[in-house]
Amino acid sequence: MVQFFLESDRVAEFVTHLMKRKPVYAPHRKGRKSYSFERTRDAAGVVLDYPRVMQSVKKFFLPPREQLLSFDLGDNTCRAGEVEPLDAIFLGVHSYDLAAVGRLDHNFSEGRAERNYLTRRQGALWVGVSYEPDEYHFAGSVGIDPYDTEGFDIFLTRLLDGYVLEVLTPAGESLLEGFDLPAHEAGKPAKKHFQQHIYVPQDRLNEVMSASYNNPVWEETALGCVGCGTCNLVCPTCYCFNVEENVDITVTKGSRDRHWDGCMLREFSEVAGGEVFRETLAARQRHRVMRKFKYISEKTGQPWCVGCGRCTAYCTAGISIVNIVNRCISDYEKSTVSAIR
Amino acid sequence: MAQKPRVAIFDFTGCEGCELNQLNFEDQLLDILAHVDIVEWREAMDDRPGEYDIAFVEGSLSTPDCIKRIHEIRRRAKVLVAVGACAVQGGINGMKNIRPIEQVREEVYGEDKYLFPTLPALPLRAVVKVDHEVRGCPMTQIEFLKVFTALVMGKEPIEPTSSVCTECKLKENECVFTKGMICLGPVTRAGCDAHCPTFGQYCTGCRGLVPEPNLEGMKEILVEHGLSVQEAWKRLQLYNAVELEGVRS
Amino acid sequence: MNLNQLSPRAEMEDLYLPVMAEIKETRRLTDLETLYTVELPDGRDLGHRPGQFVEVSMFGIGEAPFSISSSPTRKGVFELGIRKVGLLTEKLAELEAGTKIGIRGPFGNGIDVEKFQGKDVLIVAGGIGLVPMRSMINHVRDRRDDFGRLIICYGSRSDRELLFTEELEEWEREKRTEYHVTVDQGSPAWKGNTGVITTLIPGLDLDLPNTVCCICGPPVMYRFVLLALKSRGLADRNIYMSLERRMKCGVGKCGHCQINGSYVCQDGPVYHYPDIKTLQEAL
Ligand SMILES: Cc1cc2nc3c(=O)[nH]c(=O)nc-3n(C[C@H](O)[C@H](O)[C@H](O)COP(=O)(O)OP(=O)(O)OC[C@H]3O[C@@H](n4cnc5c(N)ncnc54)[C@H](O)[C@@H]3O)c2cc1C
Ligand code: SF4
Ligand code: SF4
Ligand code: SF4
Ligand code: SF4
Ligand code: SF4
Ligand code: FES
């Protein structure tokens, strides 16, 4: 592995270099306290030191709204929606967010491969950056370290006065061509500490969650949860969508569109005739959390939560997925201890 | 529909903010008019009796005369659409329900209060069957167009049931709570494409509550962000007085 | 991260693009249900299994899943039996022969008919549940010697709501079809059984170890039918059931059809009872 040193004041130069190769998407400031991944037009706008973006890079491969097909009501014909490959560099991605992309890749390639997602996804190149865990991150508890380089072509590890730049793939190497950097010899930077933890190792979570279906935590959480769906809609591994027909005001043409949806919303499981299969907020909260820590992990061996902390950070009711899981763990441990006694 | 649907528009005691005849989406207005025959403008109501396929009705009902008129409209309309917060939820007008009616009459009509018998401001659905709703104060134009095209195609319009927050998230709006504002988006019905938060403003809840809202949870959120319980309740009542308090007189 | 393991772009089909199929015939079954005979372009065969479904769409109106009601043994066209309940189904009810509708599928697992060979097949269908079960019934009738007995229990709210009445009469007459029917509430003209569907089960003559049962009906029906079958001593492993959930894609992507960790559009709609017995949200 080749390591270089990128001084802080050469970052903009580095971004400009990348922009000459391919379009660059990177975190930019948005609003008063937020950051968002945007197409970079000016290298100076890129922010590499950020706690989190509300929407992960998922939004580029599975856009919040997307046309699946367009139709003509006159002759009753349709055409598949346009899907453009995204040949681009994603710069400044945190390790948990790339891990989340891996989860999405699984969903959209398993069984029937989905052209829309995979076409956009295929050309992506990844330049990661380490981060400082804040009061919401808990990626360490699901086995994703802030320095985790898996899947990246280039990885930037932040030091005081700049970044250690690791080239990890041939694609990463060719991105760097023509950009001279001094080599870096020093070892690993200090381990990062998370403020939030899930208290059992991830490989035991299945067992805990399997025993937690009837835990009172679901009902208790439902008292404060207002069912707004935010926790689904900010989650980088959530992929559920709804489909709707939109007809042009001329009533001659229109499109069948999809948009992000979430299992916390009441209508999500409603069928014609009005039956809602997860009627209560408690049942929906349980479904969401089980999806992350049991239902999918049983099949894939991986937790479907990457510990980004978004669902907690953006929940207006302050509901914490870490607290819910830890509660399940402590109740489970109490029950197994009392069973032994 | 083979024949152009006949459309009628009526206005009760709204704030004039909705008025369909002042639509400020004029480009689309021409397209709309191509699909329908407007049979009566609001003044023309009594002149030309007849039936209409679709009646759009704005405003809430607050006098016995309104009640008579809405029954008449219902009788003559195949499809009745309530337009705007006043017609759908009783709207801001509904606020008068939570104060003694005498006091309201005094404020509104002063000396003449005895000449104007008023009722609590009722949403249309408290009096007649309403087939569809276009919510918002003023009414949400994108929703109006959706309902309109659906009806022209002879299909049921789909009413959004999720929260305004979902639309904020799709647009990646910075939540106004982070700026210290207090927002009713989590329990307010989507459909406006998170209009106010998109412009950095908080949602006052003009599109009414989501179905089966967790009001206790919402109050707790508001209190957590610095309102007193009373203030929180008042916030929620602004556009939802009739739903929350029922009709008091 | 690379996606080399995935198929190259060109090979990927468009999951959401329907083919335009022609309605060859419509037949009113009752006030609410219509039977549609549908033909794919060039008379192509749909190639389905009993129990599978297709996504049917009308542009500008919507798309929804419907079970294939005809047996795969009948080639060239396929049939859908659709009840008018809302947006799309109301509009479908207005369509006439010659109109084209969008079709995607067949989707779902369907019934593994090979596993049923040589067995007695017991069908329990409530209301509109007969529509998907009819595919299996006719499959058995068309390949009669591959299976043991064919026992049909059909329950309907009233005799006016009975579906496929001509076929029911045929089944009634056929020697090798044991057909039982009951209605919750009969009209004065009704001569048959009255009572809910579970009342048919105690009287059945069953060769238990050799019987496989398929159930399909409204959500409330399953628990009661299961109890009745259990008290007859039918083993769980001999029971299959077709479930309904909200569906938006039919291809395992949209997430709407989940029952706990299972996707009805992929793992279902036909489930082997032992597989879902422990799923708390299934029944
Ligand atoms: C596997 C399977 C097999 C089935 N087989 C049959 C069958 O053989 N025969 C039969 O009659 N029925 C069958 N059904 C049921 C059938 O799918 C429903 O009756 C059908 O979906 C009703 O559609 P609708 O538009 O007429 O009803 P509606 O109640 O108007 O709408 C239901 C659908 O409309 C859409 N919708 C409604 N509100 C919204 C909203 N707010 N936002 C977005 N979308 C919305 C959704 O797509 C929803 O699924 C089957 C269902 C399944 C899952
Ligand atoms: S974000 Fe919070 S309040 Fe909203 S649905 Fe999720 S848990 Fe409930
Ligand atoms: S469940 Fe919450 S913490 Fe986990 S990946 Fe999703 S948003 Fe992040
Ligand atoms: S958690 Fe809910 S919204 Fe997210 S992917 Fe799973 S089912 Fe879909
Ligand atoms: S600004 Fe309001 S509507 Fe938007 S996410 Fe925040 S609370 Fe929800
Ligand atoms: S954001 Fe809230 S107040 Fe603003 S238009 Fe939408 S519903 Fe009304
Ligand atoms: S219907 Fe979309 S996942 Fe099953």
Share of chain C above pLDDT 70, in %: 96
Mean pLDDT of chain C: 92
Integer Cα distance of C276 and C283 in angstroms:
8
A residues 170..199 contacting C (CB < 8 A): none
The answer as to whether B148 is a domain residue is: yes
- Same domain for A141 and A19, yes or no, is yes
pLDDT tens string A205-223: 889 999 999 999 999 999 9
Whether chain C has a CB inside 8 Å of the CB on B155: the answer is: yes
| A231 CA closest ligand 3 atom index | 7
**A15 close to A46: Cβ distance less than 8 angstroms:** yes
Tell me which chain A residues have a C-beta less than 8 angstroms from the C-beta of C246: 268-271, 277
Q: Nearest CA to C89 among C99, C78, C80, C97? A: C80
Q: What pLDDT score does B102 carry?
A: 56
Integer Cα distance of C249 and C256 in angstroms:
8
- Same domain for A249 and A331, yes or no, is yes
| Domain end point (choices B152, B184, B208) | B152
B187 lines ligand 6 (CB under 6 A): no
For every residue of C159-195, DSSP letters joined together read GGG-SSHHHHHHHHH-TTEEEEEEESS--TT--SEES
Tell me which chain C residues have a C-beta less than 8 angstroms from the C-beta of A122: 3, 6, 9
The three-point CA angle A12-A17-A22 to 5° equals 120
The answer as to whether B227 is a domain residue is: yes
Q: Where in chain C is the domain with CATH 2.40.30.10?
A: 3-107
Could you give the ipTM of this predicted complex? 0.93
Number of neighbours of residue B127 by Cβ within 10 angstroms: 16
- Same domain for A168 and A216, yes or no, is no
* pLDDT greater than 90 at residue B3: no
The answer as to whether A58 is a domain residue is: yes
The answer as to whether B158 is a domain residue is: no
Q: Which is higher by pLDDT, C7 or A155?
A: A155
- Check C61 against B158: CB less than 8 A apart: no
- Check C87 against B155: CB less than 8 A apart: yes
Integer Cα distance of C76 and C82 in angstroms:
20
The residue whose CB lies within 8 Å of the most ligand 6 atoms, and thus the one to mutate among B202, B207, B209, is B207
pLDDT tens string A17-74: 999 999 999 999 998 889 999 999 999 999 999 999 999 999 999 999 999 999 999 9
* pLDDT greater than 70 at residue B115: no
- Same domain for B144 and B180, yes or no, is no
Number of neighbours of residue C254 by Cβ within 10 angstroms: 22
What are A19's two structure tokens?
Answer: 């922009």
Q: Which residues contact A130 (CB under 8 A, 6 or more apart)?
A: A94, A95, A146, A147, A155, A156, A157, A158, A189, A192
Q: Nearest CA to C192 among C168, C170, C175, C176? A: C168
Whether chain B has a CB inside 8 Å of the CB on A85: the answer is: no
* pLDDT greater than 90 at residue B13: no
Q: Which residues contact C167 (CB under 8 A, 6 or more apart)?
A: C134
The closest residue, in CA terms, to atom 1 on ligand 4 is: A288
Mean pLDDT of chain A: 93
- Same domain for B31 and B146, yes or no, is yes
- Check B178 against A244: CB less than 8 A apart: no
The answer as to whether B73 is a domain residue is: yes
CA dihedral B22, B25, B26, B30 (to 10 degrees): -110
Q: Where in chain C is the domain with CATH 3.40.50.80?
A: 113-282
- Same domain for A207 and A120, yes or no, is no
pTM (two decimals): 0.92
Distance, CA of A41 to chain centre? 24
Q: What pLDDT score does A305 carry?
A: 96
Integer Cα distance of A61 and A64 in angstroms:
9
The answer as to whether B11 is a domain residue is: yes
Of the bound ligands, which one is closest to the alpha carbon of residue C245? Answer: 1
Tell me which chain B residues have a C-beta less than 8 angstroms from the C-beta of A59: 172
Number of neighbours of residue B146 by Cβ within 10 angstroms: 21
Print the domain residue range for A121: 2-62+83-176
* pLDDT greater than 50 at residue C21: yes
* pLDDT greater than 90 at residue B97: no
The residue of A58, A69, A125 whose CB has the most chain C CBs within 10 angstroms, and thus the best one to mutate to test that interface, is: A69
Pairing state of beta strands C258-259 and C262-263? antiparallel
Averaged pLDDT for residues B174-200: 94
Q: Which residues contact A292 (CB under 8 A, 6 or more apart)?
A: A237, A303, A304, A305, A321
* pLDDT greater than 70 at residue C254: yes
The answer as to whether A33 is a domain residue is: yes
Integer Cα distance of C60 and A288 in angstroms:
32
pLDDT tens string A121-164: 999 999 999 999 999 999 999 999 999 999 999 999 999 889 99
What's the C124 CA to ligand 6 centre distance in angstroms? 50
Number of neighbours of residue B245 by Cβ within 10 angstroms: 16
- Same domain for B199 and B125, yes or no, is no
**C89 close to C120: Cβ distance less than 8 angstroms:** no
Confidence of residue B17 (pLDDT cuts 50, 70, 90): low
Q: What pLDDT score does B43 carry?
A: 42
What are A72's two structure tokens?
Answer: 């003509």
User: How many distinct structural domains can be found in chain B?
Assistant: 2
Q: In the CATH hierarchy, which top-level class contains the domain C113-282?
A: alpha beta
- Same domain for A127 and A172, yes or no, is yes
Note the helical H segments in B161-240. Answer: 164-171, 195-198, 215-224, 229-237
pLDDT tens string A73-116: 999 999 999 999 999 999 999 999 999 999 999 999 999 999 99
- Same domain for A225 and A136, yes or no, is no
What CATH code would you report for C3-107? 2.40.30.10
Tell me which chain C residues have a C-beta less than 8 angstroms from the C-beta of B35: none
The answer as to whether B248 is a domain residue is: no
- The CATH number for B66's domain is 3.40.50.700
| Domain end point (choices B119, B152, B185) | B152
Q: What pLDDT score does C13 carry?
A: 83
Whether chain B has a CB inside 8 Å of the CB on A116: the answer is: no
The residue whose CB lies within 8 Å of the most ligand 3 atoms, and thus the one to mutate among A98, A142, A308, is A308
Q: Which amino acid, B163? A: S
- Same domain for B177 and B233, yes or no, is yes
- Same domain for B99 and B134, yes or no, is yes
- Same domain for B174 and B227, yes or no, is yes
What are B92's two structure tokens?
Answer: 């801001």
- Check B158 against C87: CB less than 8 A apart: yes
Integer Cα distance of B55 and B152 in angstroms:
13
Number of neighbours of residue A11 by Cβ within 10 angstroms: 20
The residue of A57, A226, A241 whose CB has the most chain B CBs within 10 angstroms, and thus the best one to mutate to test that interface, is: A226
Of the bound ligands, which one is closest to the alpha carbon of residue C29? Answer: 1
Pairing state of beta strands C100-107 and C53-58? antiparallel
Print the domain residue range for B87: 6-152
